[in-house]
Structure 1
Amino acid sequence: MQAEKKVFIIMGVSGCGKSTLGMALAEHLKIPFFDGDDFHPKENIEKMTQGIPLGDSDRKPWLARLNQIAMKHKDKGAVIACSALREAYRESLQKGLEKNVLWVYLYGSYPELLGRVSDRASHYMPSTLLQSQFDTLEPPPYGIHIPLSLSVDQAISRILEDSNISG
């Protein structure tokens, strides 16, 4: 399997380290990184800033935009950080590129993640929304599952090993 032919989607609830791992993996593989948070419409950011959870209709155009980015990079490879909490969201994200997607699910307990989210000063999503993300989460039965206890380097090693990618 060649890394340059894969779109890695790093998924999980807020605060699990999607962006940190995604940036490091992209740098390691020398492919572009896209943070899904950067592509939310203004209305979504305003809702989350006010502590209002996003609904499916809020997420639909956002997921479509991330799918467009993934499609554009499916032959060259990319890393996208996106919560992708429900199976329906993951289906939207990978539409048209099923064989080119490699899912990486970062997971941890609510108390671990609450501490991380509470410590973030520069993010628009308040810690009060974390429970709604856990309530929405449908952990995938596929992909590479990475516990929060691993360091970024350990997580990258696991991803490369489990996906048979040399790097």
Structure 2
Amino acid sequence: MRTPRVVVVMGVAGTGKTTIGPLLAARLGVPYAEGDEFHPSASIAKMSAGVPLDDTDRWPWLDAIGRWAHGRAGLGGVVSSSALKRSYRDRLRAAAPGIVFVHLTGDRALVEERMSRRQGHFMPTALLDSQFATLQPLEPDETGVVVNVSGSPQEITERAVEALATLPDSTR
């Protein structure tokens, strides 16, 4: 029997991490943790004001996600995190070796349109450009899959499940 993975659903704001994360967790039979809930209140206030976070703001957030992921090692789980930079993903991997990434991607127009429909979220559409500018896609030596966000949440989730199944067992 395969050991359940800890999966980080990553991507720029508006790609559907909060929608796909719980659906993916349900399909994999593991718990889901919303990455936004790990942000310190000062970071949420900063983003709400339209100010992008810097690395100093992100380290405590990434460390909190890393602790959660570490606690789920061997048990499995899904957590959302933008994980935009390689250094952020490296930090998560250092805390929880063996995690894998599902990078949700889509063209800017689609992502912006989806972001503009969100209600009550602290991340304004104005920060989307900074998200795309910061994004460093998964590199070949990083364990993960890329999933396009066109289609329904169920279609996206199914693509993610199918893509994860292609990863070698040694990453599970």
- TM-score normalised per structure 1: 0.91
User: How does 1:45-56 map onto structure 2 within 5 Å?
Assistant: 45-56=44-55
Aligned to 1:20: 19
Aligned to 1:119: 117
| TM superposition shift of 1:76 | 0.6
Aligned to 2:169: none
| TM superposition shift of 1:110 | 1.3
Inter-partner Cα distance in structure 2 for 1:107 and 1:146 = 6
Inter-partner Cα distance in structure 2 for 1:94 and 1:136 = 19
| TM superposition shift of 1:149 | 1.3
Aligned to 1:60: 59
Aligned to 2:170: none
User: How does 1:13-162 map onto structure 2 within 5 Å?
Assistant: 13-99=12-98, 101-142=99-140, 143-162=144-163
Q: Which stretches of structure 1, 4 residues or longer, exceed 2 Å deviation after superposition?
A: 96-99, 150-165
The answer to whether residue 169 in structure 2 is matched with residue 163 in structure 1 is: no
| TM superposition shift of 1:156 | 3.0
Letter in 1 for 2:152: S
- Greater alpha carbon shift after TM alignment, 150-159 vs 30-39: 150-159
- Greater alpha carbon shift after TM alignment, 74-83 vs 4-13: 4-13
Letter in 2 for 1:125: M
Inter-partner Cα distance in structure 2 for 1:97 and 1:131 = 30
Inter-partner Cα distance in structure 1 for 2:29 and 2:39 = 25
Q: Which runs of 5+ in 2 are unaligned?
A: 167-172
| TM superposition shift of 1:96 | 4.1
- TM-score normalised per structure 2: 0.88
| TM superposition shift of 1:112 | 1.1
What is the number of equivalent residue pairs in this alignment?
163
Pick closer, same or farther for the CA change 1:157–1:120 going to 2, 3 Å: closer
Inter-partner Cα distance in structure 1 for 2:165 and 2:34 = 24
- Backbone CA RMSD of aligned residues: 1.6
| TM superposition shift of 1:97 | 3.0
Inter-partner Cα distance in structure 2 for 1:164 and 1:137 = 25
Q: Percent identity?
A: 38
Q: Which runs of 5+ in 1 are unaligned?
A: none
